Amino acid sequence: MSQSLRRQVLSAFKKLHRTREYVFDGDERALLAGRHKINESFQQNRNETNEGEIQKMIKLAEEVDYELRTNVIQAKQTKDNVYELRITPETTRMDNVVFNPDAVIQAPRKRQGDKSTGCCGGAAMAALEAELDSRSKK
C-alpha cells in the first residue's frame, strides 16, 4: 500500500473517532460501542491489499462520518415524558408540516374497468380466477 493511501486510511480512522466523540459526547455507553465498532471494522480489513477496495472503504468511512454528524441527535430525559435534544449546527433540519387531524382523506378512485387489487395490474387475480374456474369444472 502506498504512503498516500496509508495516510488516507489513518486520516479516515482518526476522523471517525473524532466524530464519535463529538456526536456521542457525554454518553459513555455509545462512546464505547462506537469505539469498539470502528476499531473492529478497521481491524477486519487490516490485511486488504487491493487499492480499489481500500478506496471504497475510505469512501464508506467518509459517508458514515457525514451521516453521524448530520443525522444523529442525542436526547436526554429530563422529566417524565420530557426530553432535551442536543442538536448541532451540522444536524440536518427539515420543515415540519403540522398534521391536521380534521383532514378528510378520500379513498383512491378506481379506474373504470380496472380489476387490479395489487401491483401486477390484475394479472395475478385473473390467473387465480382462471385456475379456480378450471378446478371447479373438473
DSSP 84: E
Compute the distance between CA of residue 117 and CA of residue 130 in angstroms, rounded to an integer.
Answer: 16
Compute the distance between CA of residue 108 and CA of residue 105 in angstroms, rounded to an integer.
Answer: 9
Look at residue 79 and tell me whether its pLDDT is greater than 80: yes
**Residue range 103-117, pLDDT digits in tens:** 888 888 877 665 555
Residue from 127, 22, 10 nearest 69 by CA: 22
Look at residue 20 and tell me whether its pLDDT is greater than 90: yes
Give the CA distances from residue 102 to residues 73, 105, 106, in Å, rounded to whole numbers and listed in that order. 31, 9, 12
pTM reported for the whole predicted model: 0.63
Q: Where do we find the cell 387475480?
A: 125
pLDDT at 138: 60
